[in-house]
Chains A and B, each alone.
Chain A
Amino acid sequence: MSQSKVLLVDDEEELVSTLTDRLRWRNLDADAATSGYAALELLQQQNYDIVVIDLMMPGLDGLDLRRIIRRDYPGVEVLLITGHGADLEGQEFDEDIVGDVLLKPFDINELVARIREKLGNDGRAGV
């Protein structure tokens, strides 16, 4: 049974590196990217099951990256992480985004549970 493949995207390099290590120890095949553009490069090279994206990033921000992924990689799930719910105010987005957001700081087990919830509903292997 193959591991679920996770891509973590956050411009906080130390945070995304640490999360990657912790997810790997929890039997998730995790990679890290520190920008939206770097994430798109990785998506072109590998098949990810889910992308976890920080909402507020310089360059290509989380919402724009999410839109691109939903358009170009429709089979890939997306989970947004953000420091403040206020970051979403005034933004235009799909109504279903509420279920795709996890607030920082979060417990690693909460992140794993949300990943498994999004992948497990589709019956993917390895979760």
Chain B
Amino acid sequence: MSEHSGDGAMDAEVRFFGIVTASVTHELNNINSTIEQIAGLLGDDLARAANGQPPAPDRLHDIQARLVNQAQRATATIERLNRFAHTTDEPRGHLELRGLLENLVDLCRRLAGLHRVELVCDFPPDELWISCQPFLLQRVVFHCLSRLWLEAPSGEVILLTLERNTREVFISICGPPPPPGAKGAHDALLDDMVAALPGSVRRSTRDGRPTIVIGLPDVLAPGSFRIPPNEENGS
């Protein structure tokens, strides 16, 4: 079944959502396991205290700080997943591109790491608002990232950058040099997804490194639109 249309496209979207969600639940499970063991460490100290060896105050402060750190880590992870999930609320809308991409890259770091690849973002500091399809755009970027990290040698870096002019913004995804003899297959799925955004896709090479540049129109000028309510309350 083709991923380009109909049920195939729906299945591909669900798979994408499942991959990201599974990775996050794995991360949360690790955090939960860590919290349980740190709490167990406190239990061990309490058992020693019952035998006349109370823990030093610094020790208790250290355990408390470690628990808080893990809880904050869980909160940040849940917030990232929540932001991602809410990009399905509306098929199209105003979105802050830099924040969307940073969130997606954060969600993908663990997956890239399992393929021994590091993701690096080099974005300008200013917010960048566009009108686009947020979930499809994330699918496009994830598609590019995952193809690069699947083919990348161990220890490599994938670099994402953002550039803009008055009318368009360009997302550049620069991957590591392909293995010797590798022949890049035409990526018709990417072309179709970008066309549906709508946008443009250009493939080039920078310093021998394959680079995909996705062009998106509909850059929104500051003050030209109202930020949608669900962006303000962070739900």
Interface set of A (CB-CB < 8 Å, partner B) = 12, 14-15, 18-19, 21-22, 25, 56-59, 61, 83-84, 86-87, 104-108
> Which 5 residue pairs are nearest across A and B when measured between Cβ atoms?
A58-B113, A83-B29, A105-B33, A15-B34, A104-B33
The distance in angstroms between the C-alpha atoms of A25 and B66, with both chains bound, is 19
A87: B residues at CB distance < 8 A: 26
A19: B residues at CB distance < 8 A: 37
Q: A14-B34, A84-B26 are in contact. Are A108 and B114 (CB under 8 A)?
A: no
A21: B residues at CB distance < 8 A: 41, 44
Main secondary structure of the interface of A (DSSP, over half): loop
* B204 within 8 A of partner (CB): no
Q: When A and B form their complex, what is the total count of cross-chain residue pairs whose Cβ atoms lie within 8 Å? A: 58
Among the interface residues A18, A56, A86, which one has the most CB atoms of the partner chain B within 10 A?
Answer: A18
Query: Smallest Cβ distance from A1 to chain B, in angstroms?
Result: 23
Are the CB atoms of B40 and A104 closer together than 8 Å? no
Are the CB atoms of A18 and B37 closer together than 8 Å? yes
11 A-B contacts, Cβ less than 8 Å apart? A12-B33, A14-B34, A15-B30, A18-B41, A18-B66, A22-B44, A58-B116, A59-B116, A105-B29, A105-B32, A105-B37
Q: A83-B26, A83-B29, A84-B26 are in contact. Are A108 and B116 (CB under 8 A)?
A: no
Are the CB atoms of A56 and B40 closer together than 8 Å? no
The distance in angstroms between the C-alpha atoms of A86 and B25, with both chains bound, is 12
Q: A14-B70, A58-B116, A59-B154 are in contact. Are A108 and B30 (CB under 8 A)?
A: no
